[in-house]
Structure 1
């Protein structure tokens, strides 16, 4: 099997789990993530429950195209596109007034974090879903973020519906930078 065949097989398996309302454990362009269909409130709640995380602490979503980005946000500050074009580091943008996603993903201040990904597995999975993918680090709330698959807590491994069988030996990059961009042109770096 070629790497492309393996990725396609994993995309199929992950998609089937997500389509059934499940949650997956998967490699991202940064750290291992727990994810689900960002439009399914029950699946999003499963992630909060698994992580033992308060719903007031919002999670982010991944997208793979401008089309998906505009599906979630009416207004996207031009600064976001300028930063995406210039930076090589994965960057999460916290943007105002999200829509078309599960209400329990949206922060109390009516914002949502979003990151554009090119990582082949994530990209192809969203191509198949035609929806954004929830992404939150694969740890129990308050615990350190695991830098490799083998550091992921058994509670997380046992609690997901599907574990993607890719990159189990890879040490993760650091979590993404986080920048809050307001529609009023304010810019705040949350995590450099």
Structure 2
């Protein structure tokens, strides 16, 4: 049976993000702190929080791989194939990133990940864009429950989703690979 979310919960998360805030969300990799790529102030906050939390990197997370074309000059077909076929969470670092605050891009590279979930997909659909995320656990660790969320990260959120809040997530660490400009693959983390 597919998990359901409550409309007021979704509306509150959408409102917080549209107002330039940050929201705590449950994902397949644990709880995360999210904002929109267009919210430069919130993206800066995310950047500084990720620097204070070792192992917490910023990822552009999407429910629809086609949304990513706006944020990169080009995306190799291999990236689409890998995201859609991967059986576990997979983060891919791509070159030629654009249209996100400069401080998030290291050497024109940005990490992306594809994720399907009813609440997250509805959120991206309402916002018409992917989200920037960092892990919400202490020291970059996965937070499988809201009581494992780092206090600094929790206090910076404008809203915490009620969706899945009462359950313990079965989080999985993502694999990480980098795609080079000529299709070369570098595995960073299996």
- Name which of 135, 138, 146 aligns with 2:136: 138
Q: Which moved more, 1:153-162 or 1:125-134?
A: 153-162
Check the 8 A contact 2:88/2:172 in 1, yes or no. no
- How far residue 47 of structure 1 moved from its aligned partner, in angstroms, is 2.1
Structure 1 consecutive aligned stretches of length 4 or more whose deviation exceeds 4 Å: none
Superposition CA RMSD, Å: 2.2
CA deviation string 1:118-140 (max 9, x = no partner): 11111111111112201110035
CA deviation string 1:83-135 (max 9, x = no partner): 2343211111100011122222212x210001111111111111111122011
The corresponding residue for 2:152 is 155
Paired residues, what number?
Answer: 186
Check the 8 A contact 1:77/1:182 in 2, yes or no. no
Check the 8 A contact 2:5/2:119 in 1, yes or no. no
CA deviation string 1:10-54 (max 9, x = no partner): 221111001111111111122110010112210112223445538
Check the 8 A contact 1:51/1:139 in 2, yes or no. no
Check the 8 A contact 1:23/1:160 in 2, yes or no. yes
Looking at structure 2, the residues matched to 51 and 59 of structure 1 have their Cα atoms a distance apart, in angstroms, of 7
Residues 72 and 41 from structure 1, CA distance in 2 versus in 1: closer, same or farther, beyond 3 angstroms?
same
The corresponding residue for 1:103 is 102
Unaligned runs of 5+ in 2: none
Check the 8 A contact 1:36/1:43 in 2, yes or no. yes
**1:185 maps onto 2:183 in alignment:** yes
TM-score of the pair, normalised by structure 1: 0.86
- How far residue 5 of structure 1 moved from its aligned partner, in angstroms, is 5.2
TM-score of the pair, normalised by structure 2: 0.87
Residues 51 and 93 from structure 1, CA distance in 2 versus in 1: closer, same or farther, beyond 3 angstroms?
closer
Residues 81 and 51 from structure 1, CA distance in 2 versus in 1: closer, same or farther, beyond 3 angstroms?
closer
Residues 29 and 145 from structure 1, CA distance in 2 versus in 1: closer, same or farther, beyond 3 angstroms?
closer
Q: Matched residue of 1:48: which SS?
A: helix
